[in-house]
Chain A
Amino acid sequence: MSETASMDIHARLVECGMEAKHAQIVMDLATHPPSKASEVGKRIGISRMDAYNSLRKMQDMGLIKATLDKPMRFLGIKIEEVFDLLIRKSEMDLRRMQEHLDEMKSDAHLALLSHDNEHQEPNFTVLKDRHAIMANLQSILSEAEESVWMMLGHWGIFHLRRSVAFEAMVEAVNRGVVVKISTSLNDKTVKFFDDLDTRIEVRHHEDFSMQGVYVDDEVGLQFINVEKTPTGRGKNDSALLIESKDFLAAQLELMAIQWGAGTSYRAAKARLTEGKIIEPLRLNLGEGSYYERLRTSLERSVDGSISTPNAFLRRSGEPVPVQDNPQAAALSMLGIDLNDVLGGVGIRIGQELANKWGSVESDEQFWTYLTEEWRELGMGEIVMKGMPPESVVVHNGGACGGKPTVGGMFCHLDEGVLQGIMMVRHKVDVLSKERVCTSDGTDSCHFEIQCKTEQIDSAL
């Protein structure tokens, strides 16, 4: 038996309620011939007397056998038999407990001994050991009536799927309970979420580490300590079981805000598995009252004698378009700067490009790929200073198609692309931008972005 397998079985025995020392003895005798107490003690590192006492205790429980010779030698039983014994013992214990409960329920005198602890005061309980925590979770999920808000951090889905609470959650969904899950998705957990019932809504949050659940507005369970190893047994996990309407109301309010800022599961998965960014692009379109701007522009229009066009411009009988970009002009009248809009779109494209080549470890190689693609797309010649770049200059980008007064906003798109790349690849933002344009009378154009040297805090 390999050491890993041995440790795994030992962990499972402990998880089933066996003392760690007894589990060690089970493992030892399973792999050795009949042994004296002193030999067992020596092998597992305990005193002869300690070994003897433990062996006799285990013998009484039927977990090991002993020979009749002197000195007595002890021999193990098959490990699967040990598990069978533990299960049978637990079943007997359960039956006995059920009988006691039934008798107490039917006996009025026994019932009088219990103080009625049903009250509305806020209360909490500290739970230890993931098994105990999950058993409680199963219990509160079974009683869910309207909504369940689960927080599964980075690895919580592992624990949930392996626990009795998972079925309780599925049953809650089938009862019509609305179940929402907040998590921090990663490439190892995606498949578990893929398997979930489609009625369960999942949202992704960067660096979300909370684990717990809020059921209706009555009871919450929050993990305080979770083993760092995702596949661990959670022996040292601890959690608070809280019953407080005020607490739940406050927590649910926070969760609603968090939920709103989250990314849909579909978008988060696309980013993880395909390197695509598909969530809606959120842009800031400037401050101020758009209603006031609309009113202003309409007032000027309806007051016909002041500002309504009343003349056609023609050449050879054909109308001459005098405004190359009426849409841009209209947006400008409403205070929306298309340069900012395209800059924001460019950032998004840059982030996606950086994700696409995220697997390229070398920054030099990354920029070589980018420079080549940039050139192939006819977007100009990239020249960089430093690595990570302190500045990036693009010569003759020609984004405006030779008409800077009309197409100058596309220059902002290209700048945004580089900015997005810098943010994702190097975790730095852009410090300043400089632009030399043919509209200023120069023969060629270029723009330069200066990058910050300090990394930005949050990963994108």
Chain B
Amino acid sequence: MAYQAAFLALADPTRRQVFEQLRHGPKPVGIIAAQMPVSRPAVSQHLGVLKKAGLVADRAEGTRRVYYIDPQGLASIRMWLDQFWEDALRAFKAELENEESNG
């Protein structure tokens, strides 16, 4: 599930550092790279992976692109549970109605 993609994305220590830098608020690539021992293209690449995993999102701010932790990033598990409880309650209702018609 998507949750595993997030987990795997953060398994890389450098990528995790990039992610951690966004904990205090949105930042552009250049600012993140300035705090890291890796190049700006490398940081961009890491941000791309984090974005694909649903952990960060980005938006245009003037001429630059700003990255931030996606508050819905951990939501893949929520989406899954949403569907799960939908199915479970439907089955619960069906069982009660089945009992009703037989009983």
Note whether A and B form a binding pair. Answer: no
A contacts, CB < 8 Å to B: none
